[in-house]
Chain A
Amino acid sequence: MNTAAWVTLLAPLASAVAITLTGNLLSRRQAGFLATGAALVAFGAAITAFVTMVGKDAEERIAQTTSWTWLSAGSFHVNLTLLTDQLSIMMMLIITGVGSLIVAYSVGYIDGDDEERRFFAYMSLFLFSMLLLVQGGDLLLLLAGWGMVGLSSYLLIGYHQHRAAAVAAAKKAFVMNAFGDAAMAMSLFLLVQHTGRLDYAGVFENAPGGGALATVIALGLLGGALAKSAQIPLHTWLPDAMEGPTPVSALIHAATMVTAGVYLIVRCHPLFENAKAVENLAAGLGAVTLVMAGLIALVQTDIKRVIAYSTMSQIGYMFVGAAAGSYVNGMFHLMTHAFFKALLFLAAGIIIHALHDEQDIRKMGGLGKKLPHTRTVFLIGSLALVGVPPFSGFFSKDAIIASTLDRGTFGLFLFGACLIGAFLTGVYTFRLYFIVFHGEQSAFAKEHLHEPHGRLEGPLSMVWPVTILGVLAAVGGLVQFAPVWHPLTRWLEPIAPSFAEATNTQEFIASAGTVALGLLGIYVAWTMFGAKTRPVPQPVAAFEAKFWWDELYDAIFYRPAVAASALLRRLVEVPLVFGSINELTRGFRIGSVELARVQNGLVRSYAFALTTGLAVLTVIFLVTK
């Protein structure tokens, strides 16, 4: 039995259940500590599992444990199976590690909110769902985790349930994700039907090796991945999801939810490799997303939305990496991104906290002097995001970009997109940094930024996680440096052997290009927003309007659907359905009253029913024998 893996999975669930059941018995703070403790226990268990695994030979590292068989019919078994292998343990470490920092941070962040308990129960539930997704040993558990992640993100995004925007955003996220879930469920159903198996190994072995079926299956999986990871065309929920509390944004955008799509591609890579066209489609969509999200991020004025679009853009990189066949680099970027993106969100949370829930960057400015610690970690996060050596983003992003060069002409297109993205990343990231921290304090900041308790950057529970993440964002990339050492590649090789490997020359070209463009982006941002030597150009309408995706969906889906349903209602529902339902209800009512009248309380009528029934049955038996 793989006890550590079970502890990892069940600790957050136990905390969610305990917080829900104890209700008022638990104070808000205690609930926060319970949730943090559970996340830490899960992290500890994940480390234990990791250490155990490191001690084993590469072939023995994949451990499948079945706790019980739920249903079995013939050769088809539905089990509760956990799969602990190199890939899932990496995800477990990221989720519980970054997750526990975020939960700890929210103890300070949410303090004072009346319903803090509920928040921590949701956070724990979210961690559990995500762990179920990555630890599940078969397709059914994957789907269950997938759906539960959608559900708990709905709960968390809509946490401020009195705010209409939050509720709308939660709904949007849920609908978009349900779309993806449906696509994924369809392809899982096809897989089960075709292979008669549920476990990964069995499914991959027996999956169709090509042709239309393989393509349809891969397309369905891609649909699920696109929705969860907010890639074009199912991306519009992500920026709106910023309505949730900031730790939620950090959890959704950094450690968990959005990375599920990348995990899915890597986990199910045999299925994608069977459908090359879909794989290229995924990479292409990732490339388009990373450029488009970068452009939109240039003009956003909400601090969290800028970071949210940057997430979309970075996930685009991961898609390019994973779908182009460089699984390790995709996972590598997933890891470093978890560090620096959680860092950026949590730092943004400190700013928002200090400014009394103001998120508009136009009202900020010159915060650097008052929030020096936050400024430092934010700078680290920004440099990591842009990919400036030696910060973590450099290693992982460059590895992805370099590996695209190994993919021929299509790779060149991806390469170009990635370079443009690198430049845009530099611009929007440092636009944000300069506007928020640089220069003179804005009037708004002067008015609001004062410290009643002397701790402007928040309580220790907020400062520490941010600091730890700052360290990780700075040095986390040193785990692997493609030309020199690659422990991560060796680690993941048995699960997902990459088929796109960059040569050292390609690495060099990519690195030089990316770093140069990133620095150029920073320079442009500096001249416009930092030194203000150049006027800021008018924002392009298309960027402002987020390329009209929402409007497009409105026109294509929402309005025709409304029109059609209005028409159907007028022509079919009102006269036919309502009419018949009314009649039916009336019929049932009458029947019910009549039966009550027959049930008149008289013993003789009961006896009569009995004897009549007997007589009828006897006669029928005697006649038909």
Chain B
Amino acid sequence: MHGPDVSWYLALSGLMFTIGAIGVLVRRSPLIILLSVEIMLNGANLALIAFARHFGHADGQVFAIAVMAVAASEVVVGLGLIVAMGRRNIELDVDKLRTLRG
């Protein structure tokens, strides 16, 4: 097997996951938040692919491709909601979405 040890990949994927999570926590624009979620999912994807290569199986890679499709549709729904908000002149700031609380 060539390339770095699988633990490096794992560390990188963990880092991506964390960065994504922090992005969700600190950013206010729903678009950027969706992006951060994508980073989290891709972190997991990286781990899957790395392990798949490590074990020499294909199932992890298949899983990763499926995840990409799912992530895309999730983003589509998210963008749709954001467009709907824009049409109704709602400010694109998740901190302003506070009518439901308590």
- A adjacent to B, CB under 8 Å: yes
| Chain A interfacial positions (CB closer than 8 Å to B) | 596, 599-604, 607-608, 611
Q: How far is the CA of A532 from the CA of B33 in the complex (A)?
A: 106
Contacts of A599 in B (CB 8 A): 101-102
Tell me the nearest residue of chain A to B98, going by C-beta: A601
Tell me the nearest residue of chain A to B26, going by C-beta: A604
CB-defined A-B contacts under 8 Å, sample of 24: A596-B102, A599-B101, A599-B102, A600-B98, A600-B101, A601-B98, A601-B99, A601-B101, A601-B102, A602-B94, A602-B95, A602-B98, A603-B33, A603-B97, A604-B24, A604-B25, A604-B26, A604-B95, A607-B21, A607-B24, A607-B25, A608-B25, A611-B21, A611-B25
Q: How far is the CA of A389 from the CA of B95 in the complex (A)?
A: 96
Q: How far is the CA of A602 from the CA of B94 in the complex (A)?
A: 7
Q: How far is the CA of A409 from the CA of B94 in the complex (A)?
A: 95
- Give min CB distance, A212 to chain B, whole Å: 61
Q: Using a CB-CB cutoff of 8 Å, which residues 79-102 of chain B contact chain A?
A: 94-95, 97-102
Contacts of B25 in A (CB 8 A): 604, 607-608, 611
A604, B101: Cβ atoms under 8 Å?
Answer: no
- Give min CB distance, A533 to chain B, whole Å: 88
With most chain B CB atoms within 10 A of its CB, the pick from A599, A600, A602, A608 is A602
Apart from A599-B102, A601-B98, A602-B94, what are 14 other A-B pairs with CB-CB below 8 Å? A600-B98, A600-B101, A601-B97, A601-B100, A601-B102, A602-B98, A603-B33, A603-B94, A603-B97, A604-B24, A604-B25, A607-B21, A607-B25, A611-B21
- Give min CB distance, A70 to chain B, whole Å: 43
Q: How far is the CA of A596 from the CA of B101 in the complex (A)?
A: 7
Q: Using a CB-CB cutoff of 8 Å, which residues 13-31 of chain B contact chain A?
A: 21, 24-26
Q: Between A and B, how many residue pairs show CB distances below 8 Å?
A: 29
Q: Using a CB-CB cutoff of 8 Å, which residues 59-89 of chain B contact chain A?
A: none
Q: Is the interface of A mostly helix, strand, loop or mixed?
A: helix
Contacts of A607 in B (CB 8 A): 21, 24-25
Contacts of B100 in A (CB 8 A): 601
Contacts of B102 in A (CB 8 A): 596, 599, 601
Q: How far is the CA of A600 from the CA of B100 in the complex (A)?
A: 8
Contacts of B99 in A (CB 8 A): 601
- Give min CB distance, B29 to chain A, whole Å: 12
- Give min CB distance, A81 to chain B, whole Å: 53
Q: How far is the CA of A258 from the CA of B70 in the complex (A)?
A: 73
Contacts of A604 in B (CB 8 A): 24-26, 94-95
Contacts of B98 in A (CB 8 A): 600-602
Tell me the nearest residue of chain B to A608, going by C-beta: B25
Q: How far is the CA of A604 from the CA of B101 in the complex (A)?
A: 13
Q: How far is the CA of A20 from the CA of B55 in the complex (A)?
A: 70
Q: How far is the CA of A607 from the CA of B24 in the complex (A)?
A: 8
Q: How far is the CA of A611 from the CA of B25 in the complex (A)?
A: 9
- Give min CB distance, B5 to chain A, whole Å: 21
Please list the 6 inter-chain residue pairs (A to B) with the smallest Cβ-Cβ separation, ordered nearest first: A601-B101, A601-B98, A596-B102, A603-B94, A607-B24, A604-B25
Tell me the nearest residue of chain A to B30, going by C-beta: A603
Q: How far is the CA of A607 from the CA of B102 in the complex (A)?
A: 16
- Give min CB distance, A624 to chain B, whole Å: 21
Q: How far is the CA of A607 from the CA of B98 in the complex (A)?
A: 15
Contacts of A608 in B (CB 8 A): 25
Contacts of B24 in A (CB 8 A): 604, 607
Q: How far is the CA of A541 from the CA of B97 in the complex (A)?
A: 82
Q: How far is the CA of A611 from the CA of B24 in the complex (A)?
A: 11
- Give min CB distance, A517 to chain B, whole Å: 82
- Give min CB distance, A572 to chain B, whole Å: 38
Tell me the nearest residue of chain A to B18, going by C-beta: A611
Contacts of A611 in B (CB 8 A): 21, 25
